[in-house]
Amino acid sequence: MDLKRFLKILCSLELTVVCLAFAIILVFVGTLAQVEIGLYAAQARYFRSFVVLWNPPGTSFQIPVLPGGYLIGGVLLANLIAAHIKRFGFTKKKAGILMVHAGLILLLAGQLATDILQVESAMRLTEGQAKSYSESQRYNELAVLDTTNPEYNDVVAVPEHVLETQKAIHQPNLPFTIQVRNYYPNSDPQSRRSSAAQGTQGVGQRLEFVQSPRTTRMDARDVPAAELEILDSKAASLGTWWVSPWLCDEELFPLVLDRADPATRAALLQTQSFKIDSKTYELSLRPRRIYLPFFLRLLKFSHDRYMGTDIPKNFASRVQLVRPATQEDREVLIYMNNPLRYGGQTFYQASFDKRDPRVTILQVVRNPGWLTPYLACCLVGAGLLYQFLTHLIGFVKRRTA
């Protein structure tokens, strides 16, 4: 295919119609898939991909069956830009149409940038507590802490997807190897039923984890668990440990603690630690942390309900914002529909802990392209207004003449 034919196809209205048809099919199929695999998995498979792959039952290979959301959106964007360049020359009469198309292009490009760059997390604070990081609500990481120095901890973080491969993990900063023996994408902690169960160290001597089906509910999340074996430089085993957000997450850990017997409770309150080469290390599978160059301290959390009900009427967090690098120290009130925008992050008053009235939960969003939709809508509105006024003035002049 020569270049002219390719450009002709790229600019064609037929390509636009085909892309819109595939988009309708994709939305229909992706919406149905949410029932089986959940919202986030359906978004990743159908809308945040270039090609939708199908894995035939009982096989390991994948077959492409549909173009993904990124591919359809990218082709539509290229089609719109190419058609705009070829068909619409810049004239005074067409300025409004050019502005409308520019707004649509900006809207598509901005949505793609938002989808790729936006990061959502949460910050859970108890009155008097300060934090300089937020935590992901969907992704986890294996954290290996060197706690030898009493002044600070050296942390090596391993992404969760590395654990899914169930292979040996070698880190140049660690004098040992981590062998993943078992990995469960979703798990449930239970009392250890037999001595043959996995886990020979730490809380694994009292608890075991069983695999659970992946959740598809919007108000729930998968809680993974992994069984790790530590091997020294001579490949000698130091034992196996179970790690999971069940054991360290501030929301989940109290649930496990409440239903544990006294001996298990004592084991849960101990750190998952071991010593090697005169250094002490701790293991935890925790929500992925996003560190900030400042910290927030919760001074007061207010939670008002409608009289006689548990329905929240208003809840607000008064926090102290401290940034040592700039000597900034001030108080900020975050409440419903009044977020804190600072340092490229937006902090929303999202929720609270029903078990503890002193705990607030802030939604933290980093979206570099958050202004793009507003600018695109203003551009489209201005173009439509210009086009309308141009025709109106021309009509009035002809009537007057």
Two tokens, residue 332: 């900020």
Measure the CA angle with vertex 69, ends 67 and 70; round to 5°: 95
Reported as a single tens digit per residue, the pLDDT across 131-143 is 999 999 889 999 9
* Stretch 14-26: mean pLDDT: 92
Reported as a single tens digit per residue, the pLDDT across 298-341 is 999 988 777 777 777 788 999 999 999 999 999 999 998 899 99
Two tokens, residue 37: 């695999």
Whether 8 shows a pLDDT value over 70: the answer reads: yes
Q: How far apart are the first and last CA of the chain?
A: 54
* Stretch 196-221: mean pLDDT: 79
* Stretch 100-117: mean pLDDT: 84
Reported as a single tens digit per residue, the pLDDT across 45-57 is 898 889 998 888 7
Two tokens, residue 212: 């659970």
List all residues 6 or more positions away from 342 whose beta carbon is below 8 Å from its beta carbon.
Answer: 294, 321
Residue reference for tokens 């507003």? 374
**Would you state the torsion angle of the CA atoms of residues 242, 244, 250, 252, taken in this order, to the nearest 10 degrees?**
-100
Whether 24 shows a pLDDT value over 70: the answer reads: yes
CA–CA distance, 206 with 199 (Å, rounded to integer)? 9
pLDDT at 195: 57
Q: Is residue 343 classed as helix, strand or coil in its secondary structure?
A: coil
E-strand stretches of 193-244? 207-211, 225-231, 237-243
pTM: 0.79
The residue among 370, 369, 350, 371 whose CA lies nearest residue 361 is: 350
Within 10 angstroms of residue 356's Cβ, the number of other Cβ atoms is 12
Total number of residues shown for the chain:
401
Edge-first strand order for the sheet with 237-243 is: 168-170, 177-184, 225-231, 237-243
Reported as a single tens digit per residue, the pLDDT across 374-400 is 999 999 999 999 988 888 888 788 888
CB burial string 192-229: b at 16+ within 10 A, e below: beeeebebbbbbbbbbbbeeeeeebeeeebbbbbbbbb
Name the residue type at position 344. G
- Domain residue ranges in the chain: 3-118+372-400, 121-129+291-366, 135-289
Query: Which backbone phi and psi does 290 adopt, to 5 degrees?
Result: -120, 110
Reported as a single tens digit per residue, the pLDDT across 242-293 is 999 999 998 899 888 888 888 888 888 888 889 988 899 999 999 999 999 9
pLDDT tier, 62 (very low <50, low <70, confident <90, very high otherwise): confident
Measured CA distances, 89 to 84, 93, 115, 382 (Å): 8, 10, 32, 19
